[in-house]
Amino acid sequence: MDRVAVRPRAGKVAPGSTVATRELASITGTPIRVPDSERLTHLQFRRFAGCPICHLHVQAIRARHNELEAAGIREVVLFHSTAKALLGHLEGEMPFAIVGDPDKWLYREFGVESSLLSVLKPKVVRFELRGLRAKRRAFGLDLHGGPLGLPADFLIAPSGEVLPPHTAPTATISGRSTRS
């Protein structure tokens, strides 16, 4: 993974920042250019491979993938887990790129944080339980990078300009598709 620095403000990528072009490798080894040279890139930061909340987010994006593609948006979903761990938790083929960042290089570069309080709120616990029921699989015990990460979403123009981001105050909230 090319770890080219961006020009962050106060340790975070801010709207108006320019992200340098880099090539990431998906968990299947496919090269992924970020930002995409022709479409908007929706760069999603998720937690660990077996995260039940993340499972709900991924399934929501999978269900709306055709709409997103038609709107000219390329989805790239990052997890702070290894490719091996992610491959063990995916259910079928994904129509978008999933990237493992077990050392959290991009998480730090983009200022995506962790918070103990993010997973202790009653709403988060309910969402975790909902995710576990939907997943119908064992909760992932590979917590590489820790279970306390906050999700974040960045929309990046082909020029590399970061459009207004959406970061979440808790582990359950991310983007418009996950409001409960």
Q: What CATH number is given to the structural domain containing 68?
A: 3.40.30.10
Distance CA(92)–CA(90), nearest Å, equals 6
Please indicate, yes or no, if residue 77 is contained in any of the structural domains: yes
- Residue written as tokens 């959406």? 166
Of the listed ranges 45-49, 89-93, 115-119, 162-166, the one predicted with least confidence: 115-119
Between CA 69 and CA 62, with CA 83 as vertex, the angle to 5 degrees is: 25
Please indicate, yes or no, if residue 176 is contained in any of the structural domains: no
Distance CA(25)–CA(45), nearest Å, equals 15
Distance CA(170)–CA(148), nearest Å, equals 10
- Phi and psi at 23, nearest 5°, equal -115, 125
**Structural domain count of the chain:** 1
Please give the residue range of the domain that contains residue 152. 23-166
Please indicate, yes or no, if residue 16 is contained in any of the structural domains: no
Model's pTM, two decimal places? 0.73
Please indicate, yes or no, if residue 111 is contained in any of the structural domains: yes
What pLDDT digit, counting tens, does each position of 34-64 carry?
999 999 999 999 887 777 777 788 888 899 9
Please indicate, yes or no, if residue 13 is contained in any of the structural domains: no
Q: Using pLDDT thresholds of 50, 70 and 90, give the confidence band for residue 153.
A: confident
Please indicate, yes or no, if residue 122 is contained in any of the structural domains: yes
Q: What is the pLDDT of residue 9?
A: 35
Q: Using pLDDT thresholds of 50, 70 and 90, give the confidence band for residue 80.
A: confident
Please indicate, yes or no, if residue 172 is contained in any of the structural domains: no
